[in-house]
Structure 1
């Protein structure tokens, strides 16, 4: 017997149904129409859900080796922002040039600390402006002045170990700008304009355990304190992404306060997220993340959400006060904030530390919060590939105080493994085709072969009818 296709069998059944009772044919047609309508509804619903959430993030591995994850950047920042000894040396030098007494110049130099925390007292305006005029007349830049008075890393750090090997601290720690001022940083690979030397562009990696991590001993010279931003002594440890500018308010930094005569163990737990390239085929509103090459910030390097937030805050600061604080390595000699701008910086500093949510719908509520927080013109999406570092700190007093006012810090991975997440598309095109084909096959018995046969059948019928009409017209003429 000749083998007939699915569509021919369907036509045979349909032809047979014409010989049935009219009521049965009506019932058969109604059932078939209902099934078609329901099938279309199912397909449209599935497609809408796919468009709303086209990507999914899943845990790929909970045993991803930490030695394949970049070690975080570590910054050691003294709470003392101005070294008294270095300020005194500078005061004597400036006194000879300005015909002021060293005591007067020391009082002036104390004002420069206000460029760290934007602290401002209205009764000091005249003195701030006077000292700024002196600096301008001597052609002294604010960032150079701040760098001259900060405690150098050679004095702050007394000994260092990396992967259980003693190293010279100056070979692994460099004095660089963070949101907290000049700090001694380790494994910070972002190139910024304040750099005057070459740095390693690739973050270091290491294994788990205290012996494979970073150790640093800090010398807290309490007699050298001259200006502090908080009422405490010691150093602040920053744990951050090594390719990002260290900034607390942008959300990409963990801050740990340590005290003199203490041992501090900082356990790092990394979590890595990566994305397949197919995710980039969908709009930003759908995937809610950016790949490194899709947008660049003012730092001129690869994109990160932290750098995007910093850029947004910098633009707001410049719009409000027409200057950029020297703490942000985007300023230059023509636009850096001076002592004359402290009053303006103090007026809006609370605004720049609060970021208004981008996804909050506009309305009559939270009007005060909208005015008193930072809002970015371009939404700062998260990165499609990033590593987040969770830090857990434990501090213990040093009982055997052989060194006075020393702070010992250990930074290390707590476990051999970490979590790796993958952002992928929910369905690839062949999976969507398979799902739709399954729905049509279950409810109405359609398949790709059936659609081809149906199209071929009606195409042939239409062509035969057109050809017959043309032949009739030719014969009649």
Structure 2
């Protein structure tokens, strides 16, 4: 009887001891966090895509069209023609989410019924300056000259219609890049109609090693509120051009130097829940036709808030994908509504505390990322007062390569607890 009680007691102690060990293992596993270490201080840029380079003119409506609209409206105050002219001058310089100036269109409310019939995205597409009219000489890419319009493609941006180089989300390439690098596809490139790999890469660094182009600044009519020049945006090829960009004025040349580190996750990090690792992989969410990128997620927040406030989204800023663009396009009244809510759109992070959870802007970091930082050196090396020369290149041939991992996985935590048990 004594031995039986002894073994029962030992069994109970063993059960409690095992439970204690499992609890400690679980606590160690749950409290673990990610760490990032340096794998290499000289990772070649040749193994990473060259960034997309997006060029937006100061006025996204061709000067000849603005002049024609002005002539039609001259001497006809309060007319439909005057309302159309003023709408186009506002659209020429609009930038998301700064719609506030569209409140001026309320003065022509009598013509809203007719103006609302216009497809604003199509109107802007027809009014954009043709590619052949922008560049004044062949473009330089990786040691040879090309027809610029073979390198640059029409691109929807936060400024409206612009032209981009090496973008996975241009009007041309977005139809071909829906699945590459996602859903088990391990490729880091796709093929264009010529069979050439995209996104493009280069192993060189310094001036004349990347993309170089020259263009003529568009003349700006006095009734368009902007100054002659261009905006250049340097982005990840899969990222929508949504930033303020780098301003380059006419009569100047800009040398844009690029650098940035690469971050790779370990294989076991993907097994950790997203809310625990605080980052997302490209195939875990899809925004605007591409795999997850934090910058695209933030852009998508504007889309949801615009629909919440005004029931529409301006399609000259976004893609018309059936899967992730279920919202109506904004007509003129929709843009006026966005003007009324402009302050709320600018401060989306402050306002989402009072909204339902499905409207909150939650955009974790990217688990896998290549950073593209840039600055510009401006010189006066142009041959005429309206010329603009831009040279985009990597500052060095290599960057830092980082690896992100979890501090403990379950087996590490188990081993750590067992090591703490006295022999």
Q: What's the counterpart of residue 337 of structure 1?
A: 330
Q: What's the counterpart of residue 201 of structure 2?
A: 205
- Supply the distance in 2 between the matched residues of 1:123 and 1:303 (Cα, whole angstroms): 37
2:48 pairs with one of 46, 49, 69: 69
1:280 matched to 2:270? The reply is yes
Superposition map of 1:23-102 within 5 A: 48-89=27-68
Question: What are the superposed Cα offsets for residues 258-292 of structure 1, whole Å, 9 maximum, x if unpaired?
Answer: 11111111111021111122112222221001112
Residues 385 and 124 of structure 1, relative CA distance in 2, 3 Å threshold = closer
- Alpha carbon RMSD of aligned pairs, Å? 3.7
| C-alpha contact 2:352 2:360 (8 A) present in aligned 1 | no
Q: What's the counterpart of residue 263 of structure 1?
A: 253
1:431 matched to 2:412? The reply is yes
2:235 pairs with one of 233, 236, 240: 240
| C-alpha contact 1:88 1:102 (8 A) present in aligned 2 | no
| C-alpha contact 2:307 2:327 (8 A) present in aligned 1 | no
| C-alpha contact 1:128 1:339 (8 A) present in aligned 2 | no
Structure (1 or 2) with the larger CA radius of gyration: 1
3-state SS of paired residue (2:156): strand
Superposition map of 1:130-169 within 5 A: 130=111, 132-135=112-115, 140-159=118-137, 160-169=139-148
Q: What's the counterpart of residue 175 of structure 1?
A: 154
2:214 pairs with one of 206, 217, 224: 217
Q: What's the counterpart of residue 181 of structure 2?
A: none
Deviation at 1:104, TM superposition (A): 7.1
- Supply the distance in 1 between the matched residues of 2:290 and 2:202 (Cα, whole angstroms): 25
2:345 pairs with one of 335, 340, 352: 352
- Supply the distance in 2 between the matched residues of 1:194 and 1:333 (Cα, whole angstroms): 21
1:380 pairs with one of 356, 360, 363: 363
3-state SS of paired residue (1:211): coil
Residues 225 and 122 of structure 1, relative CA distance in 2, 3 Å threshold = closer
TM-score normalised according to structure 2 size: 0.77
- Supply the distance in 2 between the matched residues of 1:122 and 1:202 (Cα, whole angstroms): 42
- Supply the distance in 2 between the matched residues of 1:282 and 1:195 (Cα, whole angstroms): 31
Gap regions ≥5 residues in structure 2: 1-12, 178-190
Deviation at 1:354, TM superposition (A): 3.2
- Supply the distance in 2 between the matched residues of 1:303 and 1:369 (Cα, whole angstroms): 21
Please identify, of 194-203 and 271-280, the stretch whose mean Cα deviation from structure 2 is larger: 194-203
Matched residue count: 379
Deviation at 1:309, TM superposition (A): 1.7
More helix by share: 1
TM-score normalised according to structure 1 size: 0.69
Gap regions ≥5 residues in structure 1: 1-32, 249-253, 357-365, 446-477
3-state SS of paired residue (2:234): strand
